[in-house]
Amino acid sequence: MAYLHTANIISDFPPSHHHHTSAGPFVQHQITPYTNNGGTILGITGEDFVVLAGDTRHSEGYSINSRTEKKVHRLGKESSLVLATVGFGADALDVVETMKRAVEDYKFHHNKEMSPPAAAQLLMTILYSNRFFPKYAYCILVGIHAGKGVLYSYDVVGSYSKSGERRAAAGAASDLIVPFLDNQVELKNQYVPYAWEEEIPVQPLPMEKVRRLVKDAFTSATERHIQVGDGLQIITVAASGVGWGVSEEMYELKKD
Amino acid sequence: MNHTPENWGRPRDDIYGFYDKSFLQNTGGAQQHTTRPVVTGTSVVALKYNGGVVMAADNLASYGSLARFTDIKRIKQVGDHTIVGAGGDISDMQYLFDKLLESVLIKEEYQNDGHALRAPHIYSYLARVLYNRRCKFNFLWNSILVAGYDDEKKPFLASADLLGTRFSSPALASGYGAQLAIPILRKIAPDEASVTKITKEQAIEAIKLCMKVLFYRDARSMNKYSLAVISEEGVDLTHGVALENESWKFAETVRGYGAQTV
Amino acid sequence: MFRNSYDNDSVTFSPQGRIFQVEYALEAIKQGSAAVGLVSNTHAVLVALKRNAEELGSYQKKVIKIDSHLGLALAGLAPDARVLSNFMRQQSMSSRLIYARPIPVARVVNAIADKAQVNTQTYGRRPYGVGLLIAGVDETGPHLWEFQPSGMVLEYKGAAIGARSQSARTYLERNFELFPGLSRDELVVHGLRALRDSLAQDKSLTSANTSVAVVGIGEEFKLYDGDEVTMWLEKVGDVGSSRGRTEIEQPEASGSGPTAAAAPDTMDTTD
């Protein structure tokens, strides 16, 4: 069994705080409480909407556990909050469960939906409260706040930017996707043709463009990264005038 | 001065000389948790078909490379339409099956209100137990598969392991099965849609083939296994099923391990 | 006030075998405004009359959602109901978290029944001063339960608690045989008519003083408060108290109500 000879897949993270050294000539078998289940998540905001996506491959080492495990979760039936988690699957799901429960509890006690800034701070608290035995879950939280799409991204111990971000990617292929977003969303290194070093101004992208970028990012990541593929779950949260809507699109990715 | 718990109440070395602690069970820390599995079971394999799920696990419990027990039941029926199969540490499995699940079932039965726990509920419970134990650094050293029907009465199959990792798929296998059985099973069940085209007989045949391949290649396996078929009528669980049409003919063609001359 | 030497605590029986503190707690329910619950084959409905202590104040919350498949109406001490409902929410969330299953209605009801019973048998404690009607849907269908501070719980086809609830109960007793086959809307209308019968003279059901809640098979618990209640009151038609009237009102005359409903042949006119 693979786990009987546990390979230290995540040797760099987290730094093991659980050192047992046996006196004998044998190296004692050591289990890690973490594993890496691969996958990637990606979020991009527009003016009055936000898109959050994740592939549906769930893997461990070279094995594909499942091709249909979703990483993007709505936090409440009537809430605009959507949370995507990636990293160690069990921790990731636990963070989602904890958040869902908190959002539900909040509604019971205050008779209104939790706002994205409140949820963002709560998520930071949850992650940081596990500072010395971290939940190995990289998170991207999105929602609609005051008619605008907002996005927050976190490291595993909860650091995030209170003012939110325009876009974020996390997980296995984030290294591949982030530079692509720099170029396509932040328009880094893009200049007006035939003009002398005149940068193209950054503007909020239309929804269709964002969805196309998301698909392009994932099809490319699927080509180059073994842990990314199978399916793509794209959730769009839109503040359409008076109300807002949350919609889900499933998009096929290569299964090799 | 050593102030760790195992030294509490012991004579001080600096006054009374070295204290022989060799009789103590552990000298490393306050509490010892399972750090490795001892007596183990190998793969569990399962496949959904149109109307149910088929699961199999052999009857061997190994002590390292020793085939220690050959009549171990690693699939348990839980309620009318649910089964749980386990690999990994046998004592942890028996704790899960005979202590935890049994008491959950008894409590549910005592309510006597027409409600019964089904596969998704049993799965959720077990995955939570495994995850809670890993969070306490006190693993239940198992990998389990739960099969039955979901809330929409569709076939249900999901996996959980000692880390609390959970996932679901039309075909699942733990241990060596993940390497050897999954390619066979995914050929006929690549996705959820294909499950509706698989008959019960085809599913049983595929699972039996997997058990044979596993016996050929997994050194911690045996040729006797438990086979469970879930259908609307309930669970048909048979222990001690013998491997059929076993043939080692292929072995002569295997190259690359020994000192072949050709 | 009536006193005797056997009502100082909730652990002492009177020679007649009564526990007065528990009986007083049951009286506390009657101090609260009325709540009515009823079930059909597909739905469970709660309706309740809200009181405002004074003009400047808001109306007391009478219906509390517990989970998407479960809620309750209360009569009596609202703070006690809040504590009980918080406990029910915890039980409900645990069930979802551990077993991924909405808690069966009877289980969560029995859980608060056990809590209440402890208070009737422990020195230094007082029984809960609130009665509850719990409406919910689970795998075995829609359910309506009544909870009492004594720790007693019973399942009902229709039930009413609180001030002047006897009149509502009379309405339910006369009409309950219709309930199983009723549609969602018809069931609510019957609930409101029963509630109307418990109104004090010269009072009527208004969008400000009435709460309506519906839960059904495949339909989440939905609470209607304020303006949302208006549509329901329109379906009822005459929303005024029938107390002190000489004529017997015919509910069908309103035209929008369920036609299957038989009008009560007499109305309780005592207060």
Q: Which domains does chain B have, with CATH numbers?
A: 39-243 (3.60.20.10)
A244 has a pLDDT exceeding 80? no
Residue C254 pLDDT grade (very low, low, confident, very high; cuts 50, 70, 90)? very low
d(CA A221, CA A209): 18
Q: Which of C70, C83, C90, C93 to mutate to test the interface with A (most CBs of A within 10 A)?
A: C93
Q: Does residue A150 lie in a domain region?
A: yes
User: Residue A150 forms beta bridges with which residues?
Assistant: A143
Stretch B216-244: mean pLDDT, rounded?
A: 97
The structure tokens 């699939």 sit at B75
> Per the CATH hierarchy, to which homologous superfamily does domain C20-234 belong?
Aminohydrolase, N-terminal nucleophile (Ntn) domain (3.60.20.10)
Query: What residues of B are labeled active site?
Result: 34
B28 contact residues in A (CB cutoff 8 A): 20
| C68–A77 C-beta distance less than 8 A | yes
- In sequence order, which residues have a C-beta less than 8 Å from that of residue C86 and are 6 or more positions away? none
Determine contact, residues C265/C248, Cβ cutoff 8 Å: yes
The structure tokens 């004090």 sit at C200
Residue A64 pLDDT grade (very low, low, confident, very high; cuts 50, 70, 90)? very high
Q: Does residue A5 lie in a domain region?
A: no
d(CA A11, CA A133): 15
For A126, the domain range is 40-253
d(CA C139, CA C103): 10
| pLDDT of the residue at C245 | 58
**Does A129 contact B at CB distance below 8 Å?**
no
Alpha helices, H only, chain A: 89-110, 116-128, 174-184, 207-224
Q: For residue A111, count other CB atoms closer than 10 A to its CB.
A: 9
User: Residue C107 forms beta bridges with which residues?
Assistant: none
pTM given for the model: 0.87
Alpha helices, H only, B189-225: 192-195, 200-217
B41 has a pLDDT exceeding 80? yes
CA distance to A157, B124, B161, per residue, from B118 (Å): 36, 10, 19
Burial zone of C47 (CB within 10 Å; 0-12 exposed, 13-18 middle, 19+ buried): buried
d(CA A174, CA A192): 28
Burial zone of A146 (CB within 10 Å; 0-12 exposed, 13-18 middle, 19+ buried): exposed
| A104–C97 C-beta distance less than 8 A | no
Chain B: closest CA distance from residue C97 (Å): 8
d(CA A167, CA B254): 53
Q: Which three-class secondary structure state does DSSP give residue B217?
A: helix
**Tokens coding B159:** 């996996």
| A35–B165 C-beta distance less than 8 A | yes
Chains that touch A (3 or more CB pairs under 8 A): B, C
The structure tokens 């009515």 sit at C36
| pLDDT of the residue at C239 | 86
**Tokens coding A110:** 């205050």
| A1–B42 C-beta distance less than 8 A | yes
Residue A24 pLDDT grade (very low, low, confident, very high; cuts 50, 70, 90)? very low
| pLDDT of the residue at B22 | 76
Domain total in chain A: 1
Stretch B182-198: mean pLDDT, rounded?
A: 97
Q: Does residue A169 lie in a domain region?
A: yes
* Cβ-based contacts under 8 A for chains A and C: 9
**Does B61 contact C at CB distance below 8 Å?**
no
The identity of residue B210, as a single letter, is: C
Q: Which of B143, B160, B123, B177 is nearest to B37 (CA)?
A: B143
Chain B: closest CA distance from residue A87 (Å): 11
Q: Which of A105-119, B32-46, B235-249, C114-128 has the lowest mean pLDDT?
A: B32-46
**Does B260 contact C at CB distance below 8 Å?**
no
Least CB-CB distance to B139: which of A31, A60, A94? A31
From start to end of chain B, where are the E strands?
Answer: 39-41, 44-49, 52-58, 61-63, 66-69, 75-77, 83-89, 142-149, 155-161, 166-168, 171-173, 224-231, 234-242
Q: Does residue A2 lie in a domain region?
A: no
A77 contact residues in C (CB cutoff 8 A): 68
Residue B114 pLDDT grade (very low, low, confident, very high; cuts 50, 70, 90)? very high
Stretch B14-33: mean pLDDT, rounded?
A: 71
Chain B: closest CA distance from residue C173 (Å): 26
Determine contact, residues C198/C168, Cβ cutoff 8 Å: yes
Measured in degrees and rounded to the nearest 5, phi and psi for residue A30 equal -125, 125
Q: Which of A186, A177, A189, A247 is nearest to A216 (CA)?
A: A177
Q: Does residue A23 lie in a domain region?
A: no
Q: Which of A255, A3, A57, A69 is nearest to B177 (CA)?
A: A3
The identity of residue B164, as a single letter, is: G
